[in-house]
Structure 1
Amino acid sequence: PSSDHGMGDLLVSGVVTPAGLNGEYRQVGTANGKPWYKKVGDESCRIVYHTYYGRPCWELATGSGYHFLATTDASTTGPPESGWGTRLPNGYSVHRPGRTGWFTG
């Protein structure tokens, strides 16, 4: 798979906590000029592009406030396969490089 996905479906795997983030995501529209995805069977889980403290990023999140972020270049057309880190509910970011293979196309 390429490191820059375009329109279509995504498969998330390898998330340990919360494991409910794993599964198939379908594009449901666009947000901030990029594809926006929701998990099949659990629309509270989403993948969306936005800025976080002024930096462009993709966010994988649950409705309960658990987030993963991947900072990226603003020109990307879809979420990256690597570079994801956790964002804690209190808003502090802990980047953990080396998490790969979450997104496959």
Structure 2
Amino acid sequence: MTKVATKASLSPGRRRLLELMQEINFGRIEELTVRDGEPSFDPPPQVVREIKFGGENGPRQEVSVEDFALKSQATQLFAQLDYLGNGTVLSLDVKHGLPFRMSVKKTVRA
């Protein structure tokens, strides 16, 4: 039986990142530091929101929900952060409050 990842099961940093994506709804997060696979908000990342006139511009309703099963996009994002380990997410595109695409930077040791 496969264990379903939930919001409540996330570390505080991952929960904060999930909620930030839900608040943005459409846009991107830039220059997010990752340490040991965990998002770090020191220094704080930059947020760029997309505003669509006549569209959904507010936060997702899920942002205020305490617990729910994570969508596959979120679990894939957290798996990629684990794989990155230490580095920087240069840009994380967010659509409908979910991660869509990201660019990462990692120093390669000689």
Please state which band the TM-score falls in when normalised by the shorter chain. Answer: under 0.3
TM-score, length-normalised on structure 1? 0.25
Which structure is higher in RCO with an 8 Å CA cutoff and minimum separation 6? 2
Rg comparison, structure with higher value: 2
TM-score, length-normalised on structure 2? 0.24
Q: Compare the two structures and name the one with the higher helix fraction.
A: 2
